[in-house]
Amino acid sequence: MVGSITKGSDFGGCVRYALAVDEPGKEARLLYAEGVLSDTPQDIINGFECQRHLNQRVQHWVGHISLSYSPEDSAILTDEKMVKFALEYMERMGIKNTQFIIARHLDKEHPHCHIVFNRVGNDGKCVSDSWEYYRSNDICKELKLKYGLTFGEGRDKVKTHRLKGRDKAKQEVYVAVRDALKVAKDWTTFQRELAKSGVSLRKKYRRGTTIVEGLSFVKGKHKFKASEVAKKRKFSFANIDRILNENKNGRSQTASATPAVPRPTAPRAPKPEPSIASKVIEAGLEIGENLAEGLSGLFKLGPGYDAEQEAMNNEMERRRKKAKRKGRSI
């Protein structure tokens, strides 16, 4: 059960859509009406229009809610049950003392209904929309638990071919990232896999540093932050980097899965504690390694050269030149 809420100022268009008046290929049933004459769609529209004039300050007087259910719940979702769930949902949302209709659409494989209500109540007061999206999500979860309705199985079950525009592009990006993470072992391979699906990756760096703060993905004319594509930081830089390292390490361990037969060895003498001099030398080497890493954009370190690092340094150089042109420095 998922609730989608919108507001507008055209009762005519909304009622006709809910009742599928202008779409001969679709079938809809009016299940319930309150506060309006329901003999014809125009009677319903006239009733809504008459009451909304009680409060001229309300700019978006049309309330519209789509309640969608999982196809697995089709067997139990009779018209009576659909009305029952819709009325309880509205009660909890505080949509009371106003006109509304409930219509069921029959053009999709998943059961769903449309609620059209007047945001100008019977007493002329405006029906509150405070925090409605958050409240709707919580109420839907509570009703699913209460009545044993099916919880969605996530983005992997979304049918991309039924989406359009930005929603379709976002789902295609999700699938591309998910599939790329199954085979990639480093960032270069990861980006190549994304490119096969027409998706490009962009990194956001902390100002004046080479520290990656965020990721975004581009598909065609659409750009999405990683947090838009998947929730709970599933596609964050840190999480993707961890998965790539796990892929790399997992494959190398599989290649040497058959352990060699151990040979008996003579007991070793205890390893002596490192001297103060050796500690100083080791610290000096570590500082040298850190300096080399910081200057990797200036010096190529032979076999250890990293194309990903070079790309990051080039980006920083581009930003430095851009800042210089604007009269400032990074």
Taking the CB of residue 77, how many other CB atoms lie within 10 A of it?
20
**Contact 216/270 with Cβ under 8 angstroms?**
no
How much is the pLDDT for 283?
46
Grade residue 71 by pLDDT with cuts at 50, 70 and 90.
confident
Find the mean pLDDT for residues 26-35: 93
**Contact 154/175 with Cβ under 8 angstroms?**
no
Find the mean pLDDT for residues 193-222: 93
Grade residue 44 by pLDDT with cuts at 50, 70 and 90.
very high
How much is the pLDDT for 156?
59
How much is the pLDDT for 73?
87
> What is the percent of the chain with per-residue pLDDT over 90, rounded to a whole number?
55
Grade residue 279 by pLDDT with cuts at 50, 70 and 90.
very low
Task: Reply yes or no on whether the pLDDT at 10 is more than 90.
Answer: yes
Find the mean pLDDT for residues 41-47: 95
Find the mean pLDDT for residues 248-271: 53
CA dihedral sign, ordered 314, 316, 319, 320:
negative
Pick the closest to residue 127 from 83, 80, 65, 69 (CA basis). Answer: 65
- The whole-angstrom separation of Cα 13 and Cα 31 is 19
**Higher pLDDT pick, 313 / 228:** 228
How much is the pLDDT for 107?
78
Grade residue 252 by pLDDT with cuts at 50, 70 and 90.
very low
Q: Residue 38: how many CA atoms within 13 Å on its side-chain side? A: 14
Q: Which range has the worst mean pLDDT, 78-92, 113-127, 262-276, 286-300?
A: 286-300
For the chain, the straight-line distance linking the first and the last C-alpha, in angstroms and rounded, comes to 50
> What is the percent of the chain with per-residue pLDDT over 70, rounded to a whole number?
74
Q: Where do the CATH 3.30.930.30 domains begin and end in the chain?
A: 2-152
How much is the pLDDT for 127?
95
Provide φ and ψ at 66, rounded to 5°. Answer: -110, 120
Grade residue 86 by pLDDT with cuts at 50, 70 and 90.
very high
Mean pLDDT of the chain: 81
2-152 CATH: 3.30.930.30
Find the mean pLDDT for residues 105-117: 89
Task: Reduce the secondary structure of the chain to three states and give it as a string.
Answer: CEEEEEEECCHHHHHHHHCCCCCCCCCEEEEEEECCCCCCHHHHHHHHHHHHCCCCCCCCCEEEEEEECCHHHCCCCCHHHHHHHHHHHHHHHCCCCCCEEEEEECCCCCCEEEEEEECECCCCCECCCCCHHHHHHHHHHHHHHHHCCCCCCCHHHCCHHHCCHHHHHHHHHHHHHHHHHHHCCCHHHHHHHHHHCCEEEEEEECCCCCCEEEEEEEECCEEEEHHHHCCCCCCCHHHHHHHHHHHHHHHHHHHCCCCCCCCCCCCCCCCCCCCHHHHHHHHHHHHHHHHHHHCCCCCCCHHHCCHHHHHHHHHHHHHHHHHHHCCCCC
Grade residue 300 by pLDDT with cuts at 50, 70 and 90.
very low
- The whole-angstrom separation of Cα 255 and Cα 63 is 60
Per-residue pLDDT tens over the stretch 148-207 = 888 765 565 566 666 778 888 988 999 999 999 999 999 999 999 999 999 999 999 999
Question: What's at 192, amino acid-wise?
Answer: R
How much is the pLDDT for 270?
52
- Classify each residue of 152-161 as buried b or exposed e, where b means 16 or more C-beta atoms within 10 Å of its C-beta: eeeeeebeee
Provide φ and ψ at 8, rounded to 5°. Answer: -165, -165
